Amino acid sequence: MFKRVLGRRDEEEKVKKEGRLPPGQSLTTRFPVLHYGPVPSFDPATWTFRVHGEVEEEVSWNWKEFQELPRTKLKMDIHCVTRWSKFDTEWEGVHVKTLIDNGLIKPKASAKFVVQHCEYGFTTNTPMDWLLGSNFLLATHFDGQPLTPDHGYPLRAVVGAIPNRSDLSEPYFWKGGKWLRSLEFVEEDQLGFWEKAGYHNKADVWKEQRFSYQY
């Protein structure tokens, strides 16, 4: 155990020197489970994923159809508002920008924000430019395996940091919702579940924008 502690500290010092550890964060080698409410069940026969709101045409895919969408793999760092950070995590799933580029989703010019709708009515909100970033993924797999139920199986949004990509926004990990069921494109920003509860709407990890009283 002592060797594991020393190893974690050495790795933390390494990513800190590389400029990848945001203020107030600590490296973890685990993947903590944090969410509000119970883990939902999944029935592939009835599950659907819907895109609606400020789009030219509403679209919906069942589970089989969703798995046939263009896929990508992504490695990035993730930072939780509860102060843990996990580095070089590997994800697989669907980039929203790819779906838009292929004409599978057609946002209207009026679409400026997106609300992620998850099981049990949970929501979180993001600007359009975050959704289109290469560090935002509709993920089905983590570390080469399907997501586990407590980490969002069958589908969750993930948003993190790609090293040496200063052009991308880097919000805290809660800005990607677990057990995702739909994306709603909207004209004006709409606070999500944790944002209404006092979490910071912009959630910039480098500015430690954890709570709404911070600016």
Q: Report mean pLDDT in 10-residue bins for the chain, 215 residues.
A: 62 95 96 86 97 98 98 97 97 98 98 97 96 97 97 97 93 97 98 96 96 71
Residue 37 falls inside a structural domain = no
**Number of domain units in the chain:** 1
- 191/123 Cα distance (integer angstroms): 8
Closest to 204 (Cα-Cα) out of 152, 161, 141: 161
Q: Residue 55 is which amino acid?
A: V
Residue 89 falls inside a structural domain = yes
Provide the whole-model pTM: 0.92
Q: The domain containing residue 131 runs over which residues?
A: 2-30+45-207
Residue 137 falls inside a structural domain = yes
Residue 2 is predicted with a pLDDT of 38
- 57/103 Cα distance (integer angstroms): 11
Question: Is-contact 62 56, C-beta < 8 A?
Answer: no
Question: Is-contact 209 134, C-beta < 8 A?
Answer: no
What the block records as the tokens of 108 is: 């209207």
| Exposed / middle / buried, residue 3 (Cβ in 10 Å: 0-12, 13-18, 19+) | exposed
75: helix, strand or coil: strand
Dihedral angle sign, alpha carbons of residues 70, 52, 156, 112: positive
Residue 133 falls inside a structural domain = yes
The H helix count followed by the E strand count for the chain is 5, 11
Residue 57 falls inside a structural domain = yes
CATH label of the domain that carries residue 114: 3.90.420.10
Residue 37 is predicted with a pLDDT of 80
Contacts of the segment 197-204: beta carbons below 8 A, 24+ positions apart: 199/81, 199/174, 201/125, 202/171, 203/81, 203/171, 203/172, 203/174, 203/175, 204/169, 204/170, 204/171
Residue 8 is predicted with a pLDDT of 84
Residue 138 falls inside a structural domain = yes
19 Ramachandran zone, left/alpha/beta (phi>0; psi -120 to 50):
left
Residue 79 falls inside a structural domain = yes
Got the DSSP string for 186-201?
A: ESS----HHHHTTB-S
Residue 35 falls inside a structural domain = no
